[in-house]
Amino acid sequence: MRARYRDPEVTSLRLRSPTIDLQLAHRSVRAFLDAPVSDDQLTSIIAAAQSASTSSNLQAWSVIAVRDDARRSRLADLAGGQEFVRCAPLILVWLADIGRATRLAAGRRSVLGASDYLETTILGFVDATLAAQNAVVAAESLGLGATFVGAFRNHPDQIAAELALPDQVFATFGLAVGSPDPTESAGIKPRLPQSVVVHHETYDAKRDAGVDDYDGRLRSYNEEHSRTAGWIDAVLARLADRQSLKGRDELRRHLGGQGLPSR
């Protein structure tokens, strides 16, 4: 709790469990040891992922496990040249998968009229995200580390070609998984205080007042790891204009090209 909030008034929880302790200790891992993720580890991680909630039990997601060095290198190039994607022993690419239901319908000569709508696209993204978060907790419980790779949406057409994605299947994000390198300069990154993010009964924009204190706490954390930005400047820069989206401003067009018009 001290690390997660860096708030001298928030140092402990009255209610704890091993699962909560594990989640509080989460950090993104971008440096990995040269050790593979075993098939048994992968099986356990995916079993945990499949235990996540899923809308109407549609299970509208799939995942591709990428271990091949050359393919990981090509994926890294498409994800902004991020070296940890190239070096992680396992990349899991989480897919919004509406195509499976469409293929089942075709085999039974049925029509899925709802598959073209935005709600169905969102459903696939949400299902994939819930599964992936379960996977991260499972991986960390096995002593592994992970970090999400949103940059797979920078070049979705090339990612789809690299992974031979069929119609109505879209790569939502990647997940780099491996044994953490203990020499990496990283820690538990502080989050916004609960007073900012938790509203009661109705939304209260006045809760934004707590953001300034948090900005200073995150800036202090970043300085410890040779970075300088606080939170506010980073948020404003990330959402400044369409260029800051790094190609993702064309996402609806890419979705349509992959058979998900999202009307």
Structural domain includes residue 184: yes
Task: Confirm whether 263 is domain-assigned.
Answer: no
Residue 1: the pLDDT is 95
Give the pLDDT score at 229: 85
Residue 154 · residue 247 · CB < 8 Å: yes
User: Domain for residue 37, yes or no?
Assistant: yes
| Residue 53 CB-density burial (10 A; 0-12 exposed, 13-18 middle, 19+ buried) | exposed
- Residue 172 located in a structural domain: yes
Predicted local distance difference test score (pLDDT) of residue 23? 97
The per-residue pLDDT for range 71-106, each reduced to its tens digit, is: 999 999 999 999 999 999 999 999 999 999 999 999
Quick: pLDDT tens for 18-68.
999 999 999 999 999 999 999 999 999 999 999 999 999 999 999 999 999
Q: What is the pTM of this model?
A: 0.95
Residue 5, φ and ψ in degrees, nearest 5 = -115, -25
Q: Is residue 63 part of a domain?
A: yes
Task: Report how far residue 181's alpha carbon sits from residue 29's, in angstroms, rounded to the nearest whole number.
Answer: 8
CATH for 83: 3.40.109.10
pLDDT tens sequence across 219-240: 999 999 988 889 999 999 999 9
How many separate domains does the chain show?
1
The answer to whether 88 and 176 are in contact (CB under 8 A) is yes
Is the predicted pLDDT of residue 202 greater than 90, yes or no? yes
- 140-171 pLDDT tens trace: 999 999 999 999 999 999 999 999 999 999 99
Name residue 94's beta-bridge partners.
Answer: 63, 173
| Residues found in the chain | 263
Q: What is the pLDDT of residue 230?
A: 93
Cβ 177 vs Cβ 87: under 8 Å: no
Tell me the two tokens of residue 192.
């916004």
- Count CA atoms closer than 13 A to 103's CA, side-chain side: 9
Domain that holds residue 19: 2-257
Residue 262 lies in a domain: no
Using an 8 Å Cβ cutoff, are 192 and 198 in contact? no
pLDDT-derived band at 261 (thresholds 50, 70, 90) equals very high
